[in-house]
Amino acid sequence: MTERQFHSSLGLKFTPEQIVPELIRYMKDDDKRRYKIIIGTDSDVSLNSKVDFVTAIVIHRVGNGGRYFWRRILTGKIPTLRDRMWQEVLMSLDVAKDFIAVMQTQKEMPHFDFEVHIDIGENGATRDMIQELVGVVRANNFEAKTKPDSYAASKVADRHTK
């Protein structure tokens, strides 16, 4: 699997360019609903000190479920929690920018809200990083959500980390 391929819940593999038509189809299936497209990344350190990063792309049909796609990238050791959190956000931003670029090429893109979810919150070791990481997401013109509202990172991506 290359770093650009995402898995679906059915085990199929998609590139970002292939996911966008899937999202459009999903939104058009029930075009009376409100939709959010959300990007979030979570990570975990394995026993051999490699870091397992999982990025999720979630299409949320507000009030009525959703679908998601995810990818895994394994990296070498990352020295600090701060560096790992920054890497999570940078990976999410890279995917978000790729998706926005592909979406802008679509002629019939339904309306949706777009968010980047960050796996940090007021109660954890990363609470001191909230302002800087939310700031970098906002500086890239994306809406940022943190725990407990960052479910794309803290729930969806988290379920696929090793």
Residue 14 lies in a domain: yes
Whose tokens are 């990063």? That residue is 53
pLDDT score recorded for residue 1: 40
108 vs 84, higher pLDDT: 84
pLDDT at 54 over 60: yes
Q: How far apart are CA 109 and CA 100, in angstroms?
A: 11
Residue 29 pLDDT class (50, 70, 90 cuts):
very high
Is 1 inside any structural domain? Answer: no
Q: What does the pLDDT look like over 56-70, one tens digit per residue? A: 999 999 999 999 999
Sheet with 66-75: strands ordered across: 13-14, 6-8, 66-75, 51-61, 35-45, 113-117, 143-145
- CA-nearest of 115, 116, 134 to 41 is 116
Residue 155 is part of which domain span? 6-160
What's the whole-model pTM score? Answer: 0.94
pLDDT in tens, 68-77: 999 999 999 9
Overall domain count for the chain: 1
